[in-house]
Amino acid sequence: MSLIDVRHLRVRFDTERGPLQALEHVSFRIERGEMLALVGESGSGKSVCAQALLSLLPRGRAVVETGEVWFEGRNLLTLSERELRAVRGARIALVPQDPGAALHPLFTIGEQIVEALRLHQELSREEARELAAAALVEVGVPAARERLDAYPHELSGGLRQRALIAMAIAPRPQLLLADEPTTALDVTVQAQIMELLAELRRTRELGVLFITHDLGLVANYADRVAVMYAGALVESGPTREVFRAPAHPYTLGLLASAASLGQRADARLESIAGMPPDPLNLPPGCAFAARCAFAQEACARARPPFLPPMGLRQALERGVELNLAAERRVACFESERVVSRAGADS
């Protein structure tokens, strides 16, 4: 059984300007100890996805239209607020996208980790403080004990990010949702944070949903990757397989633009020509069709289903190293042409 199994998640926001389809039939799984990277340009729905798993979306405004989120034998979307409080933080932790908002400026790091721990476990202040110090040590914060008494502004960006991760992992969750945890950091600190997550995956079998813009980090650290476009997953599979033979034109474009930027750590996904569609007014067909070099007439008429891509066997015959048993999915009517084009270029 997977650690988490997300099925057909569909989320709408009711806005002043009308209904906004933020997530559309999003399905993925994460196994114990595995890292799944969720990539896609700004506004594609990555943060909404992480928040939806824990029912953290604004009530009234956000409507979960369909979906199941199976975790430890229960569908989290059917739990009461009280039941959810026992899951959030304790079993599934979120490192939110904006660390400024996650750490309170007026409390010390120690007070905040102690608070997070005592929310879920019956611990004395002293016991919680011991565990908080241990968590800081585990995430590689030097002089951990003194750091407990520091305020967030007294720490460097890298140390603040570590403190946030310490706060998230101190209650020993089984799944970490890390929303762009390295975006504001320099390359060296980024690598340290990624090594830290890799270590936690080994030592604790921690599963990680890693939300990022950085394809270099995805290539180096993620077992599998899911590519999001306009609220829908357009491609998913083992990272190596997807990078070797992308089957969706959007993935192909992302990889090409990252390669042309020399895999720089700050390589952004925004360099594909054209703009994503207005989420308040999605086209009836494929949301990428307007920017797509492979698009045919049919693409504008119907949404392509999310299925195993065609053409992988031919790619294999051309010598692209692929594991055909690996679970791959793509939402593209033209995936066969995309795979052969990608193979020819590589």
Pick what 45 binds: ligand ADP, Mg ion, none; C-beta below 5 to 8 Å, kind-dependent.
Answer: ligand ADP
Angle between helices 157-169 and 125-138 (to 10 degrees): 120
User: Quick one: tokens of 226?
Assistant: 């899911």
Cβ 233 vs Cβ 46: under 8 Å: no
Closest of 285, 296, 313, 220 to residue 24, by C-alpha: 285
Which residues are CB-contacts of 249 (< 8 A; sequence separation ≥ 6)?
288, 292, 293, 294, 295, 332, 334, 338
Stretch that binds ligand ADP, among 15-23, 80-88, 237-245, 337-345 (CB under 6 A): 15-23
47 part of the interface to Mg ion, by CB under 5 A: yes
239 part of the interface to Mg ion, by CB under 5 A: no
Question: Pattern of binders to ligand ADP over 57-96, x per CB under 6 A?
Answer: -x--x-----------------------------------
Among residues 3, 6, 10, 13, which is the contact residue for ligand ADP, using CB under 6 A? 13
Between 61 and 318, CB nearer to ligand ADP: 61
Closest of 146, 143, 145 to residue 131, by C-alpha: 145
CB of 97 vs Mg ion, minimal distance in Å: 5
279 part of the interface to ligand ADP, by CB under 6 A: yes
Among residues 22, 136, 226, 342, which is the contact residue for ligand ADP, using CB under 6 A? 22
Among residues 44, 182, 212, 236, which is the contact residue for ligand ADP, using CB under 6 A? 44
The alpha carbon of residue 191 and the mean position of all alpha carbons in its chain are separated, in whole angstroms, by 17
* Rounded-to-integer distance, Cα 120 and Cα 165, Å: 17
Pick what 333 binds: Mg ion, ligand ADP, none; C-beta below 5 to 8 Å, kind-dependent.
Answer: none
* Rounded-to-integer distance, Cα 252 and Cα 247, Å: 7
Strand partners, 280: none
Pick what 319 binds: ligand ADP, Mg ion, none; C-beta below 5 to 8 Å, kind-dependent.
Answer: none
51 part of the interface to Mg ion, by CB under 5 A: no
Residue ranges in contact with Mg ion by CB under 5 A: 46-47, 97
